Structure 1
Amino acid sequence: MTAPLDGLAVNPAVPTDLLLRLLGPEYESVWHALAALRASFPEEVTAAIVRHPHRRVRRALARNPFVDPEVRGLLVDDPDWFVRLCLAGRPDRTRPVRPLPDWVIDRMLTTYDNECLQELVFSRQIPYRVQRTYCRHPLASVRQMATHTWTLLSAGERTALLKDPHPEVRASAERMQETDDAEAMERRLGPLPVPHHHGTALILVNYRLSRTIVDWLLSDPHPDNPWVLAHNYSTPPDVVAGLVTHADPKVRLELARRSDLAPELVRALARDDAPQVRTAISLRPGLSEDERAAIDYTVDADENFGPYEHHAHPAPDPAASAVYARSRHPLLRRRAAQDPALPAALVALLARDDDPGVRMLLAHNHPAPPPELLLRSYLEHRGKARDLLIEHPRFPVAGLGPRFADADAAGERRLAVLDPGLAPATADRLTRDPNTTVRAGAARHPHLPHERLLALLADEELGEHAAANPALPVTVMRGLLRQ
């Protein structure tokens, strides 16, 4: 009976008392489904999970990607280190992560050990706006974390950290200030030749280089050196100019991305043999629409378009987004389409765009895309994030049954079972569909005829989905727990 009970654990219509019973030791096999896969819990059930004696239950809630992060955050002070580690880590790498509440993040920053904090930092659960407050945090260890975002800090914030009352904060700030000091970086690298390993690569790629180090990179035969020079912000203009004709297109592509590229180098790379180099040049700020159009750029139509974790990044510039949205360059319009604050008029404009990438990015990233755009994007989408579109609250589900129940493609027939008005006979028929996902969706549909629903509870494949059907009578639910 494990499969039907797993379905019951996620059934949105299950009474509170039955969910509490499923947390008992006799239903241990169902704990994961209940705590990790439900999207919401009655308050009494949430409290029972948070204080459950077995850490497996609490760990499952900590990694639940469907539940509100505020609920996950209730575990912030869990007595078990591993549960706290799971909360700090990304819940699910196949779905966009949502930010943890501010109060949870602050509690973590002030009480968690380094290993948990490392998980938190790389989990993308901290909003960018919260990261920008680190330099003013009352705890020295958090202010020290601010020094690692040195390039994002204002001059006043840097000065304050350099004068911080705590010696470790000051020392960290001084080390970060040295990243823009070529002589200090030369001392840190040590005598030439510099050994090639991760530590030296970090310095060579990101920190200001002295002319001595630049000349050594030019003379050293290591294959990564030209790319390092193309990338490093401090590479002298004469060296940058000399790399424009480098044989490796990856080096020239990195040059094309430099913000300080001289106009004559921009013109040269606009005629580059490699299409990816020309495309990068075509996206540079400052070019006119005619100048962009004159470049033979390419547009990737097979990109895996999906949602962007906006909270983890600075907010887009509204003025830039407005310009991009009206650009003739589809890749700039794609940038605009990712802006969740794009005004309604520009949303309407991009929803009719002739580039599928623009339309799909808008559907995935704007909080209020036109419903018809969501449906069109789902029908056109073949990427990993396709199924996320049908989870959007604006996805138009009414009338999908008659329209798609007999479609040739399984992905379209799946739409039929989203229709709240699906005919019972059609739901019954689709439980016998050749496609597994369609059959499962039909078994969960509340219009599935009662007799068929009860019969499917004993089905080896569809029993779990039938038990998740919100139309399942409560008496039957209780009976499943007694078996």
Structure 2
Amino acid sequence: MPSPLHAVAHNPALPPELLARLIADADEDLAEELAERADLTPDQVRQLADGYEGAAVRLAARGLLRAEDVDPLARPQVALVLLDEGRGDPDWARLFAGDPEELVRVRLASAVGLPDEAADLLAADESADVVAVLAIHTARLDLLTRLAAHPLPTVRRWAAANEAMPVELLTALLDDPEVMVREQAAANPTTPGAAAARLVADHAMIRQALATHPGLPAEAYHRLGGDEIPWVRSNLAQNPGIDEGLIRRLAEDDGHDVRRSLAQHPRVPLDLLARLATTVRIGPALLLPRIAAADAAELAGLAGSREARVRMLAAARRDLPVALRDRLAADPDAKVVKSVAPHPGLTAAQLTAMLDAFGTTVATAVAANPDAPGAVLDRIVATPPTPVKALRTVAAHPNASPAALATCLAAPDSRAAAAAAANPALPVAVMAELLAQRPSGP
């Protein structure tokens, strides 16, 4: 987490004269932060790139440096970034393919559009790590054929994970003598499901991988549903390829994490999801694909449940009909109110009523509302004990007042202070004070 001074370097409202001061006084770490800014002039880009390696790497990744701006011998890491982005000089790839530093060759092996000569050199590299990285990234058929038969299991393993691998080669890798190779081939979604299904009685690690495959025959899924390893069944529970019968069977499974994983299934029936919500800790409802896909009638049904944990499922949506949103905003249960509080469109009166009813329990969620006015945010930071997460959220809010930001800057929590320093609403005079805390000179 950056210090408040470094966070100011990200503040989009930083005036040009203060930005110029920061660049002139930057050290390596601060220069890297400044390299992320969207308002750098060409001269400032050159100044940062010429003076600081880390900043040059970030500027290259952002497309602000060109191949002609970089000497690959002097700045190999910058040149590798440009090669990664497909914007480097092809001659560099041939140069780096023979570099004595293994890490340089590993980086090169993942670059897009490698010239054939460089790829051939990497495929014959003495380092297994270099060849393995090439195996998972290359799309060249001749190289894939060669690497799928490589004598080292590590290389064959990562070749088996490459989704560009031809079907016939993936099918052959399912019979590899090494477990880790068969595991990767079983998990590769482009491996034919009918072929992969023959591994349902193989090693436990392979069955765990196989349970994630989206195209197995139904019979194979049902067999995995009875596997003795809970992790296999947990992986299976999230698989979009399983049918409703198996979904309902897994809903009765008390194995570790099986039912919690099932809640993430995109087609879990709502009646099962409502039951899961009351029996297992399923995590933030916003992450549940089935809730994201629910229609207005389904949301209304969930919101009408007698169970607060079920109402929370609907409350997590951020596009609720107004009447339903307002109904949940007035819910008698703090957990439901906490879920709906960040919903856009809630009025200052509604947000204030939430704080009146539940205080600090909902303070962070209220602060996360994009429409929360400055007065509501002021109340949150002025009402002890303010939760740390609430301070961080207020500190990043575009409606935060100078007084609220001053409180966040003075907070012992460094993340809250940094968020306040990066907030465009921070007064320029305060930005200047933060800059003055650092001695001049890099």
Q: Which category describes the TM-score, using the shorter chain as reference length?
A: 0.5 to 0.7
Q: Residue 36 of structure 1 aligns with which residue?
A: 33
CA distance in 1, matches of 2:324, 2:88: 38
Give the number of aligned pairs: 358
CA contact (8 A) 1:278 1:296 kept: no
CA contact (8 A) 2:225 2:246 kept: yes
After superposition, residues 93-104 of structure 1 pair within 5 angstroms as none
CA distance in 2, matches of 1:288, 1:431: 44
Q: Tell me how far 1:19 sits from its aligned partner.
A: 3.9
Q: Deviations over 1:60-116 (max 9, x none)?
A: 37649xxxx9x9442355525533656899xxxxxxxxxxxxxxx785899996947
Structure 1 unaligned regions, length at least 5:
90-104, 122-143, 148-174, 309-314, 447-464
RMSD: 6.3
Q: Residue 55 of structure 2 aligns with which residue?
A: 60
CA contact (8 A) 2:83 2:112 kept: yes
CA distance in 1, matches of 2:91, 2:321: 43
Q: Tell me how far 1:203 sits from its aligned partner.
A: 1.0
Q: Tell me how far 1:275 sits from its aligned partner.
A: 6.9
Q: Does 1:202 align with 2:184?
A: yes
One-letter amino acid of the structure 2 residue matched with residue 16 of structure 1? P
Q: Deviations over 1:313-368 (max 9, x none)?
A: xx9998656566446296897599577xx4764993697376859965984xx8x5
Q: Residue 51 of structure 1 aligns with which residue?
A: 46
Which secondary structure does the structure 2 equivalent of 1:247 belong to? coil
Quick one: which of 213, 230, 234 aligns to 1:249? 230
CA contact (8 A) 1:400 1:415 kept: no
Q: Residue 404 of structure 1 aligns with which residue?
A: 381
- Cα 1:481–1:13 change in 2 (3 A) is farther
CA contact (8 A) 2:10 2:422 kept: no
CA contact (8 A) 2:199 2:206 kept: no
Q: Does 1:328 align with 2:310?
A: no
Quick one: which of 174, 187, 196 aligns to 2:172? 187
After superposition, residues 401-440 of structure 1 pair within 5 angstroms as 401=378, 404-405=381-382, 407-409=384-386, 411=388, 419-420=400-401, 422=403, 435=412, 437=414
CA contact (8 A) 1:7 1:468 kept: no
Structure 2 unaligned regions, length at least 5:
94-105, 114-137, 142-162, 304-308
CA distance in 2, matches of 1:16, 1:416: 26
CA contact (8 A) 1:5 1:480 kept: no
Percent same amino acid at aligned positions?
21
- Cα 1:120–1:477 change in 2 (3 A) is farther
CA contact (8 A) 2:5 2:421 kept: no
Q: Deviations over 1:24-62 (max 9, x none)?
A: 4xx353x64255158857x5x532221127545474376
One-letter amino acid of the structure 2 residue matched with residue 20 of structure 1? A
CA distance in 2, matches of 1:271, 1:479: 60
One-letter amino acid of the structure 1 residue matched with residue 172 of structure 2? R
Which secondary structure does the structure 1 equivalent of 2:64 belong to? helix
CA contact (8 A) 2:251 2:272 kept: no
Q: Does 1:230 align with 2:230?
A: no
CA distance in 1, matches of 2:369, 2:83: 26
CA contact (8 A) 1:231 1:254 kept: yes
- Cα 1:276–1:434 change in 2 (3 A) is closer
Q: Tell me how far 1:6 sits from its aligned partner.
A: 6.5
Q: Does 1:348 align with 2:325?
A: yes
Q: Residue 469 of structure 1 aligns with which residue?
A: 430
Q: Residue 273 of structure 1 aligns with which residue?
A: 254
